[in-house]
A = this chain, B = another copy of it.
Amino acid sequence: MNEIQHKFQLKLAVAASEMLSERVAHIVLTDDRPLPAMRPGQFVQVAVPDGGVLLRRPISIHDISEADNTLHLLVQTVGRGTHSIASVKQGDEMDLVLPLGNGFPDMTEGRVLLTGGGIGTAPLLYLGRRLKANGCEVTFLLGGRTAKDILRREEYEAVARVMTTTEDGSDGERGFVTDHSLLGREQFDAVMVCGPTPMMKAVARWASVPCYVSLENMMACGLGACLCCVQKNHEGHNVCVCTEGPVFNTNELEWK
Residues of A within 8 A of B (CB): 50-52, 80
Contacts and interface: CB of A to CB of B under 8 A. Distances in A.
A52 B80 CA distance: 12
A200 to B, nearest CB: 34
Contacts of A50: 50-52
Q: Is chain A's binding surface mostly helix, strand, loop or mixed?
A: loop
Contacts of A52: 50-52
A57 to B, nearest CB: 16
Contacts of A80: 51
A52 B52 CA distance: 5
A51 B84 CA distance: 11
7 contacts: A50-B50, A50-B51, A50-B52, A51-B51, A51-B52, A51-B80, A52-B52
A124 to B, nearest CB: 34
A50 B50 CA distance: 6
A7 to B, nearest CB: 27
Contacts of A51: 50-52, 80
A83 B50 CA distance: 11
A89 to B, nearest CB: 11
A142 B51 CA distance: 37
A6 B80 CA distance: 34
A141 B51 CA distance: 40
